[in-house]
Copies of this chain bind each other. A is one copy, B any other.
Amino acid sequence: MYSVSVRDHFMIAHSFTGEIFGPAQRLHGATFVVDVEFRRADLDRDGIVVDIGRAGEVLRATLADLNFRNLDEAAEFAGRNTTTEFLARVIFDRVVAAIGRGDLGAAARGVTSVRVTLHESHVASASYDGAVS
């Protein structure tokens, strides 16, 4: 299995609902450093999994939609805790959709699974890893 990973980041405000979150129930924020790994069994004719430059652009565009926002006011997340693991899934879904639309090029449709990891600090991170159907 081959893979290629690219990294970028975004910065948001949010708060959580539920006693388990303690002081994180207050409005606070986070920088999320995001790694997206694309996987496939074989390389394409150019010898790549996906073009690293293009993957970086797709990641940048995906994060731009979340960057510099208060997620508590985002209609698409109403009633949900925008935890690190939840956001990993959100970004996974959007990256997979971008592959489907051909934003990474036609050959990138050969990607069979994707892993998205969000680092919220030097000591904590969360991921979503799933198949591309």
Q: A29-B28, A47-B83, A52-B84 are in contact. Are A122 and B70 (CB under 8 A)?
A: no
Partner of A121, one of B2, B31, B81, B86: B31
Q: Does the CB pair A124–B26 fall under 8 Å? A: no
Bound complex: CA A69 to CA B24 (Å): 9
Q: Smallest distance from the beta carbon of A13 to chain B beta carbons, Å?
A: 4
27 inter-chain pairs at a CB distance below 8 angstroms, sorted by A residue, are: A1-B129, A2-B89, A3-B126, A3-B127, A4-B85, A5-B127, A7-B122, A9-B122, A11-B30, A11-B121, A13-B27, A20-B54, A22-B53, A23-B68, A26-B68, A28-B69, A30-B30, A31-B120, A31-B121, A46-B81, A46-B83, A47-B80, A47-B82, A48-B83, A49-B126, A52-B84, A122-B122
